[in-house]
Every structure is written in C-alpha cells, then in structure tokens.
Structure 1
Amino acid sequence: MEGEAAAVAAAAERLFGDRLPAARRYVELLVEHGVERGLIGPREVDRLWTRHVLNSAVVGELIPAGCRVVDVGSGAGLPGIPLQLARPDLRLTLLEPMARRVAWLDEVVAELQLSTTVVRGRAEEPGVRRGLRDLDVVTARAVAPLAKLAGWGLPLLRPGGRLLALKGASAAEEMARDAAAVAAVGGSRQELASCGEGLVTEPTTVIVVERGKAAQGRDTRRNSRKDR
C-alpha cells in the first residue's frame, strides 16, 4: 500500500505541478460532500485519486495547447476540473443539466479560483449549440453510449475538432458497434487512445472521434432552411 500511495503522489505531482494543492482540495471537497450531494457513490471515496482524478487529468495528453474545450455532462467535474488543474492553458467549459450539480461546480470553481466557465444545459439544446460552437475538443465521461454521445457532441465542434469519450474495458467493442451511427452524424475518423501509460496504474482508455467537414455542411444547410 505504501508503494501504491507513493506512486499516486508522484503521478499527482507530475500532472498538477504547482496546482497540486488545488487538486488536493478538490478531492477533499468530493470526500466531504460528494456522497451526500449525489455526485459520487460511497465506494468511490477511497479511490478518488486513482480511478477519477488522475485518470481524468491524463487525458490532457490528447489536447493541444490553448484549446477551447467543453466537458459534456460534467457532473462532479470529471474529467473537466482535473483537466483544468493539470492544463490551465485550456479554455474550458463545464456543461451540466442538473441544477444541484451546477451549484456544486460553481462552488468548486470559485473555491479553487479556476478560470473555468460553468453552463447549465444539455449539449443537444439549440441554445447551448448557439452558445458553444466551433470548439476544438469535447470531453465526456460516463455520459452515454458512443452513438448518442457523438450526436450530442460533434455538432459543438469545428471541422477537425475531436470528441474524447472516456470509456472502460469494452471501448473497442463499443467503437465497432457504433461506427456507422457515429459516421452518420459527422464522425470522419475514430481511434482508440490510451492515456497515462507509465504514469498511472490503470491508463485511461479514450475513444477519439474527429468531426469531418461534411458535418459542417449539413449543419449549414439545416440552418439555412430555418432562416428562410
């Protein structure tokens, strides 16, 4: 156990640097309020660092500097808040439909003094799509099956932007199963990525979906018809 704790501490220091105290405070807030406010299950308290915080932060490996990012269905702020702490250069928005979770996210962002924006809404809502558009990256963790997630997330992206769906052990099967549906809503390229190799005990599996230019054309035509 001591060896595991040392490995977690080393990974956290490497990922968060001078923002490590803020990352620790975020974990403390989850421990103090996460279960009672319905943000995490009771079994997750003892593995917040290994299963949630570090495994969210390592996704930054896939995101270039200065990107505009929206975390869809952010919930407890995963992966968005660890990602923002590890990558303060990102212009990050947390998108969450539930009022009580939005209140939590606002509290955390204020306490940790993050530049992160919190928006209440769903990715498929017209108002959200008008306000959040031409993004570089959309992230999502434990939100929906890939086919549905692509239908929500891809329209928020610029052509060439990428959806990063954090998935579990069955990611390859899910990607194969939903390939046609993802392509139908504008996903031009799909691949599996493993983040945190050599840094965390269980690397994070991510399905990466790139938005194609054709999807932009379909959106433009649809908007044009609405304007007539």
Structure 2
Amino acid sequence: MTEEEARDWIVRHHGQAALDRLGQFVTLLVDEAGRQNLIAPSTIPSIWSRHIVDSAQLAGFSTGTGLWLDIGSGGGLPGVVLALLTDRSFVLCEPRKLRATFLQKAVAVLGLADRVSVATSKVEALTIRACTITARAVTGLDALVRAARGCADQDTDWILPLGQSGAAQIQASTMLRRTVFHVEPSLTDPTATILVARGIA
C-alpha cells in the first residue's frame, strides 16, 4: 500500500474530515518523534500506510460501543487514531512518562479530552472494565492477556495485531483455549495477522 493509497483508503472508509483530523495527528507525531523514539525514523516516509491505516483498520473489528482500552499506546498507535475515527470513550494505557505526556498533549490538541483519558501506569494497575482491548507491538500474546485480563470480561473484544509472528503465537498460546476467535489478514502487510477474539479472560 502506497502513501496515496493509504490516504485514499481513509477517505473512502471514513471521509475527508477524518483524513484532515488524522493529518493533524501525523504532524504532532512526526514532530514528537524527533524528540523521543515513538516510531522508527525509517517508517516516517510511509507513516500513513505503516502506522495510520495499520491502526485504523482495527476499528472495523469491534462490535461494542463501550469503553475501549488501548494498552501500550506509545505514540498513539492505535489508540489516538481509533479515537479520531470513532465516538467511543478510550483509556490509553502508557506507563512511560514521556510518552504519556505526549499522549496527553495530543488528546488536548485534537479535542479528544472529553472522552479519551491517559493512564500513566501498567495495565495491571487499572481497575476498569473494557468493552474492547487493543495493543500494538507491546509483548507476546499470552503475556499480554495475563496482564490485561483484569480489565476484561466474557464479552470483551480483543483486537490484537500480532505481526508476522501471529500464527506461531496463536498456535503456542494457552490463553486461547476454549475461546472463540478468528484471524484477519492485515491490509498493510500480507504476512501479518490480526487476532480477533472474545472471552479470553
């Protein structure tokens, strides 16, 4: 997917206004990436395909309307992107202080503060119940589920991009036993997988 194709995908699925809002976020993200390691510098020329659409595609897999928890939000991927594309309430969980500070700034600048909060803590410390949980490039599948299952119940949607190691992680998982799940291909990387599951906890 080229950068032009990525922006066209956003317009087709979410409209021109969404593209404009995401453009504001991209400007903030690239500027901050010059000060801290939010995204790899080598991915900036392909930021719309590599990061924005890669995050945005997750919106279509959530079936709920309640609180959305994004774990290890880092530079706002996918949490800020998804908050800009939906009207859901979000908790962005980011234990690293500098990254959390950037997220707080982005939330304020983008006008999301009424429904998006930043938790500067590990996910194990949260006392919330999430309707949807996402995490992008955080840790291994089973370790992530063990850390976050206190925020989930039997109806929680887990939408987890697993990258190129997805098939191996799913096969090795003990946390997916007796769980309804399916695997979706990534729009931005044909070798990557997205786990969509319910009731892992």
- TM-score, normalised with respect to structure 2: 0.89
Q: Give the equivalent residue in structure 1 for 2:10.
A: 12
Q: Give the equivalent residue in structure 1 for 2:172.
A: 177
Which amino acid in the other structure matches residue 169 of structure 2?
Answer: E
CA distance in 2, matches of 1:32, 1:91: 26
**Superposed structure 1 runs of 4+ greater than 3 Å apart:** 3-6, 200-204
Which amino acid in the other structure matches residue 60 of structure 2?
Answer: E
**Post-superposition shift, 1:203?**
8.8
Structure 2 residue 199 is the aligned partner of structure 1 residue 211 = yes
Work out whether residues 150 and 182 of structure 1, in 8 Å CA contact, stay in contact via their aligned partners in 2.
no
Q: Give the equivalent residue in structure 2 for 1:224.
A: none
Unmatched runs of 5 consecutive residues or more in structure 2: none
Sort the Cα spacing of 1:203 and 1:51 in 2 relative to 1 into closer, same or farther, 3 A: farther
CA distance in 1, matches of 2:59, 2:110: 19
Root-mean-square deviation (CA), in Å? 2.1
Work out whether residues 188 and 211 of structure 1, in 8 Å CA contact, stay in contact via their aligned partners in 2.
yes
Q: Give the equivalent residue in structure 1 for 2:25.
A: 26
Tell me the secondary structure at the aligned position of residue 43 of structure 1.
Answer: helix
Residues 42-100 of structure 1 show CA distances to partners (whole Å, capped at 9, x for unaligned) of: 1121111101111101111111252311000110011111111111x211111110111
Structure (1/2) with the larger strand percentage: 1
Q: Give the equivalent residue in structure 2 for 1:92.
A: 90
Residues 97-149 of structure 1 show CA distances to partners (whole Å, capped at 9, x for unaligned) of: 01111100000011110131111111112xx1x2x12x211100000000101
Structure (1/2) with the larger helix percentage: 1
Larger Rg: 1
Task: For 1:141-160, list aligned pairs within 5 A.
Answer: 141-160=136-155
Structure 2 residue 71 is the aligned partner of structure 1 residue 68 = no
Percent identity over paired residues: 26
Work out whether residues 58 and 204 of structure 1, in 8 Å CA contact, stay in contact via their aligned partners in 2.
no
**Post-superposition shift, 1:6?**
3.4
Aligned pairs, how many? 198
Sort the Cα spacing of 1:191 and 1:116 in 2 relative to 1 into closer, same or farther, 3 A: same
CA distance in 1, matches of 2:10, 2:54: 10
- TM-score, normalised with respect to structure 1: 0.79
CA distance in 2, matches of 1:71, 1:92: 7
Q: Give the equivalent residue in structure 2 for 1:139.
A: 134
Tell me the secondary structure at the aligned position of residue 198 of structure 2.
Answer: strand
**Post-superposition shift, 1:211?**
1.8
**Post-superposition shift, 1:29?**
1.3
